[in-house]
A and B are shown apart, each in its own frame.
Chain A
Amino acid sequence: MSYNRLQQEEHIAHILDTYGDLLYRMSLSIVGNRADAEDMVQDTFVTYAEQAPEFPDEAHEKQWLVKVVRNNSLMLVRKNKNRERILSEQAEISVGRDADYGILEVLDSIPEKYRTVLMLHYVEEYRVEEIAKVLKKSVSAVKMRLSRGRDMLAERYKEKMQ
């Protein structure tokens, strides 16, 4: 896809509307706070605007965005090493919300490789094959991670609720 300036601006606005929330949630599940998640989404779109990559279809474009935001988030986590912040921010996140944000605390306690699979499958409704492509893993490996992550989430959520 080759765009002129106006078309590129329109396209960036379009993919921000389409994939912005998805990328934000992906990053939030990894970095654990909104500000960093927004920064990671912004970094991802800046990279997209600078590189102006070309894709054969929207599916590939979506995969590229997910991979970039995930990598950015993981790099930030490795850089900061202050994952304890999430605990202090859980209260902030849950203020004024109806949802049970205790599940996020449970999610944060699960290793990242299971967390990402759970997020993509149950929140973003990716199929197992799509997750395998994004993560560059085999379908069976994704299924295994999905199964173990689901068991961990259920077990720890049950413990937390008790």
Chain B
Amino acid sequence: MKAEEQLKQTMQQEKLSDDAKKRILEASLRAAQASRAANAESMAANAKPERTKPFYMRPLFIRISSCVAACAVILLIVLAVKNANSVQKDADDRAGQAREAATERYDPAQTVQQNVPTIAASAPDSSVNTGVENYLDSDVAHDGELSPDDEPLYITIQSGAGLNAFAPTYKKDSKAKFICVFPTDYEKQRELFQLIAIPLIADLYVEEPVYFVTNSVTEEDGIITVSGYRTNSLGYTMEADGAGETASGTEHEGVASEDRASNGDTFEGTAFVRRFQKDPVTGEYVLIEE
């Protein structure tokens, strides 16, 4: 007999006894019962009452709050963009206005029409060194000298005494290119000066960019007469009001004649006279005589 056959024959005689089977079955059944009991106990222990989710954990609330948050974010973005555009637009407007104003500052004719700030000298009976002061609608105040940044495009001075006080401080590279010298009774003629004299000088300056000294505006029988001088130097004293004549300037007492000569300045001014009449239809003053 082969070994494997002998092995089979021998081993097949080995069987579980009935007692062993009974013992094994009982043990298995006890184990099964204990397992079921343990499972039941575990399930009972794990069986918790159904908890109600708080409102903020409910899906509907989460969805709605998400939508609201998204809308709020979008709204904030839109508002921010709008605000940025508005700010940019304001900045652009301001920049445009500044550019426009700067451009106009170099156009005396237009400047006069738009009430560009002016500076008036002191009254004739005031002390010489009172200086230039804000007179019309300028916000700029000066103490005897003009600041290049604040300097207006034209200067109004009340009478020759004011000019005497102002001229030594005036610089040739000043932005103010023409001067209106008012008569002593300026207050009576203020409207005429603003309506007629200043625009007139602005026009004249465009044609001939020199200094204009306007020393009288009179009205008689509806005719407004503007008289003054044009000159390329301010270094002389106005001695008398006049119209229709050529005035010879005298050397300013505060400026040495040698210095003036070395600068190539002349001291002569050419008188000018313009007469206007009010148009009854349009109400504008029309030039009737040069």
Q: Chain A's nearest CB lies how many Å from the CB of B270? A: 125
Query: Which A81-115 residues have C-beta < 8 A from chain B?
Result: 97-101, 103-104, 106-107
Residues of B within 8 A of A47 (CB): 31
Contact between A122 and B7, CB atoms less than 8 A apart: yes
Within the complex, the shortest CB–CB distance from B55 to chain A, in Å, comes to 41
Which B residues are CB-close (under 8 A) to A34? Answer: 14
Q: B126 on the interface (CB 8 Å rule)?
A: no
Q: Is the CB of A49 within 8 A of B3?
A: no
Q: Are A50 and B35 in contact (CB under 8 A)?
A: yes
Q: Mark the stretch among B16-24, B73-81, B199-207 that contacts chain A.
A: B16-24
Q: How many A-B residue pairs have CB under 8 A?
A: 108
Query: In whole angstroms, how far apart are the Cα atoms of A47 and B7 in the complex?
Result: 29
Q: Is the CB of B29 within 8 A of A41?
A: no
Q: Report if B6 contacts A (CB, 8 A).
A: yes
A102 to B16, CA, bound (A): 21
In the complex, are the beta carbons of B24 and A21 less than 8 A apart?
Answer: no
Please tell me if B4 contacts chain A, counting CB pairs below 8 Å: yes
Q: Taking the nearest CB of chain B, how far is it from the CB of A38, in angstroms?
A: 5
Instruction: Confirm or deny: A12 has a beta carbon within 8 angstroms of a beta carbon on chain B.
Output: yes
Report the bound CA distance from A12 to B24 in whole Å: 10
Chain B interface, number of residues (Cβ within 8 angstroms): 29
Query: Which of these binds chain B: A72-80, A128-136, A137-145, A151-159?
Result: A151-159
Summarize A's interface: helix, strand, loop or mixed: helix
Known contacts A20-B16, A45-B27, A50-B31; A119/B21 CB under 8 A: no
Question: Is B13 a contact partner of A97 (Cβ separation < 8 A)?
Answer: yes
Do B15 and A45 touch (CB < 8 A)?
no
In chain A, positions 35-87 with a C-beta closer than 8 Å to chain B are 38, 41-42, 45-52
State which of A9, A48, A101, A123 has its C-beta within 8 Å of the C-beta of B8: A123
Contact of B31 (CB < 8 Å), options: A13, A49, A123: A49
Evaluate contact between A123 and B29: CB separation under 8 angstroms.
Answer: no
B76 to chain A, nearest CB (A): 59
Cβ-neighbour of B3 out of A41, A42, A153 (below 8 A): A153
User: In the complex the two chains form, what is the Cα distance from A104 to B13 in whole Å?
Assistant: 12
A49 contacts B16, CB within 8 Å?
no
A42-B24, A46-B27 known; A9 and B7 CB under 8 Å?
Answer: no
Distance, CA A21 to CA B34, complexed state (A): 26
- Give bound CA distance, A162 to B24, whole Å: 41
Chain A residues in 8 Å Cβ range of B12: 25, 123
B35 touches A123 (CB 8 A): no
Hey, which bits of chain B sit against chain A, CB under 8 A? Answer: 2-16, 20-21, 23-25, 27-29, 31-36
| Chain A interface residues toward B at CB < 8 A | 5, 8-9, 12-13, 16-17, 20-21, 24-25, 28-29, 34, 38, 41-42, 45-52, 97-101, 103-104, 106-107, 118-119, 122-123, 150, 153-154, 157-158
